Structure 1
Amino acid sequence: MTQSPDEDTHSHSLSQRIERLTERLPSNTIGALWILLAAFLFTIMATLIKLAGEGLSVFQILVVRQAVMVAIVAPKILPNLPGSLATKRPGLQAARIVFASTAMLCGFTALIELPLADATALNFSKTFFITIFAIIFLGETVGFHRWGATIVGFLGVLIMLRPEGDGLVDPYAALAIAGAACAGMVMVILRILTRTDPPITVLTYQAVFVGLLMAIPAYMTWQTPSMEQWAIMIVLGVVSWAAQMCNIKAFKAGEATAIASLDYTRLLYATVFGAVIFGNWPSVETLIGAAVIIAASLYTVRREAIKGRALARNADGRGYNN
C-alpha cells in the first residue's frame, strides 16, 4: 500500500520531531530509556512463552518463534546470500548454535514450569557465568573485587535454588541455571566470532540454524495450534526481535556501566506479570537470592566504572591512586 503525500509528510515530520526530542537528551538517558523498554519487552516475551507452553511443546514454540524472526530479518539476510554464510570459524559458529539452542530450550522450559519471577531471577546468573568463561576461554584477567562479586553472585543463586533436606533442588530451577550457563557461553563465543566474522554472518547463523536444529523434535511433538496459540507464537517472534533491537540500541546509545543495571527491572515486571496473569508470587528465597545477585552485579558495574575513569585519567597523564 502506497502512502499519500500527506501521510508521507506527516510520517517524516513525526520522525523529525522524535529525533529533535532525543537530541536534547544525554546519550546515557537515551540508552536508559531503550534498556527499560527492552526489559519490558523481554518480560512480555517470557509471559507469551509461558502462555504458549500451557498447551504446546517447547520445541514447537521455539521453531515458530525462530521462523517469525527469520521472516523479519530476511530482507537483510537474503541479499547477502551466500556471502552471509561465509565464516572463518565454522566450528565456533556450530558451537554457538548448539549452546544457543540449549540455552533457549532450558530457559523456555524453566519459564513454562516455574513462576515467572523465579525463572527471571535465576537467569540473572548469566552475568557470573560470562565472567568464569571469559577467564577460561578468553584469558581475561579478573581482579579481587570481580572475583568476590562473582562468588557472592553464585551464593545468591544457591539461595534461590533452596535445596531440600535431602540436598536435592527443583529440577526446573537447575534447568534455568543450565540455560543461563549456556547463554553465558554464547556471549563468550560471540566475542571471539565478532573478531573475524561480520555481524550479518553472526545474525544469519543463529536466525536460521537454531530453528533448523529444533525442526525435527518440533515435528515429532507437533500439536495443531488453535488460532489463539498461533497468534501468541507469532507475536512472541515479533516481540523477541523488538526486544533484542531495543537492547542493541540501548548499548549503542549509552555506556554499558551506566545503563546495564536497569536490566534488573525485568524482575519487577516479572513479579507484577506473574501475580496478575498467573497468580504466582516469588518466594522469599527468590527475592533474597535475587537481591544478592543484583547487589553483586551492581558492585561489579561500579568497579568497572571506577576502573574506566582511572584508565582515562592515566591516559591524560594525571595518574591514578586507588
Structure 2
Amino acid sequence: MHLQDQDSKTCAAHETAPTGASDRTVSWPRSLRALTGRLPPNTIGGLWILLAAFLFTIMTALIKLVGADLSVFQILAVRQAIMVLIVLPKIASGLPGSLASARPRLQAARVVFATTAMLCGFTALIELPLADATALSFSKTFFVTIFAIFLLGETVGVHRWGATIVGFLGVLLMLRPEGTGFVDPYALLAIAGAAAAGMVMVIIRILTRTDPPVTILTYQAVFVGLIMAVPAYLTWTPPTLNQWLLLIAIGIVSWAAQLSNIRAFRSGEATAIASLDYTRLLYATVFGVLIFSQWPKLETLAGAAVIICASIYTVRREAIRGRALARGPDGRGYNN
C-alpha cells in the first residue's frame, strides 16, 4: 500500500540523476537495457511501472501471508533491516554528511508519518481482503491535494477540488460496503495509512529543497527500523524457516519494487505513465482470489473505479496546465 512506498531510497535515486541518465545505483542486465533502449521513453516508463505495480502486489501478498502468524512490528523491523543492508553502501558513502540535515525536526516528522503509514497500511493488508486494502490505499492522492494547500501554499482550482471530492465519495462507497452505519476499523486504518503517506509525500517535497538525497535516505532507512526495534522485540515470535524466507523475500521485493518505480518515472513522463500504477488493483484481485480465496466486494470495485477516474482526471488536468504533479515517485511505497 501503501505505504510507499517512497521511502527516501526512492527520493534519493530520483533526485540524483536527470531523466534518462545512466542509473549507477540500479544494476540491470545489459540485455534488458539493450532491449528497452530501442523503445520510446514513455513505453519504457510504462513497462517499468507495470513491473513495479506487480512487485508491490507480490510484497503485499507476502506480508498478508506471514502476517497471519507474526506481528506487523516484527515484519516491519525485519523488512527495514534487510533494506538497510541492501542500501548500506549508499548510506556509508555519504557519512558523515548523510546525517547532517538542515531541517532535523521535519526529518523526524517524516519518519513518524512514514512509520504510521506503514503500520496502518500493513495491518489493513493483513486483516482486509487484498483488493480492498489496495483500493483504499489509492485515496493517498487526494490527501496530498489537501496537505499541499496548507503546507506548500498551493492554489487548487475548482476542477481539482471537484476531482478530490469525487475521489472521497469513492472512498466512502468502499467504507460502507453493506449500506449500514458500520465501518470496518481496518478499513479506517487503511485510510489513516493513506493519509499519513500523503503527508510524507508533501514533506519530501519540502525536504528536497534543503537536504541532499543521501540524508533523506539515511533518516528513512535507519530511524524507521529503530522505531520498530522495541515493539518488534516485545512481540517477537521465533520465525520458522519458511517464515524467515518470506520475511527476507519481503525486504528484497520491496527494494526491487521501489527501484522499478524509480526507473519508471526517470524513463517516462509522469503524466503519461502514472495511471498505470492502478493495475495494482487488478493484480491484487487476482492474487486475492488465487492465494487467499477472497473476492473483492462489488462496492469496493465501484469505489475504486471512482477514485481511479478522479485521479486520472487530476493528472491529465495538471498536465494541461503545465504544473508539477504532487504525485510522484519520491512519495511512493509507504503503504506497500
Deviation at 1:23, TM superposition (A): 2.3
2:136 paired with 1:115? no
Output the CA distance in 1 between the equivalents of 2:164 and 2:135: 16
Deviation at 1:190, TM superposition (A): 0.2
Output the CA distance in 2 between the equivalents of 1:86 and 1:203: 12
Partner residue of 1:201?
215
1:99-140 deviation digits (Å, cap 9, x = unpaired): 000000000000000000000000000000001100111001
1:244 to 258, 262, 277: 258
SS state of the match for residue 322, structure 2?
helix
TM-score (norm 2): 0.86
RMSD after superposition: 1.4
2:270 paired with 1:256? yes
Partner residue of 2:142?
128
Where does structure 1 lack aligned partners over 5 or more consecutive residues? 1-13, 310-322
TM-score (norm 1): 0.90
Deviation at 1:164, TM superposition (A): 5.9
2:44 paired with 1:30? yes
2:294 paired with 1:280? yes
User: % of aligned pairs identical?
Assistant: 77
1:151 to 162, 165, 189: 165
Task: Output aligned runs, 1:186-225, within 5 Å.
Answer: 186-225=200-239
SS state of the match for residue 94, structure 1?
helix
Off by >3 Å, runs of 4+ in structure 1: 14-20, 163-166
Question: Relative to structure 1, is the Cα distance of residues 216 and 247 closer, same or farther in structure 2, using a 3 angstrom cutoff?
Answer: same
Partner residue of 1:66?
80
Output the CA distance in 1 between the equivalents of 2:311 and 2:180: 31
Aligned length: 296
Contact 1:122 1:176 in 2 (8 A): yes
1:167-199 deviation digits (Å, cap 9, x = unpaired): 231000000000000000000000000010111
Partner residue of 1:10?
none
Q: Higher helix share goes to which structure?
A: 1
Output the CA distance in 2 between the equivalents of 1:163 and 1:291: 14
User: Comparing both chains, which one has the higher relative contact order based on Cα–Cα distances under 8 Å and sequence gaps of 6 or more?
Assistant: 2
Contact 1:163 1:170 in 2 (8 A): no
Task: Output aligned runs, 1:35-184, within 5 Å.
Answer: 35-162=49-176, 167-184=181-198
1:259-296 deviation digits (Å, cap 9, x = unpaired): 00000000000000000000001001100000000010
Deviation at 1:302, TM superposition (A): 1.6
Output the CA distance in 2 between the equivalents of 1:166 and 1:291: 21
Deviation at 1:83, TM superposition (A): 1.5
Deviation at 1:22, TM superposition (A): 2.1
Query: Looking at CA atoms only, which structure, 1 or 2, has the larger radius of gyration?
Result: 1
The one-letter code of the counterpart of 1:94 is A
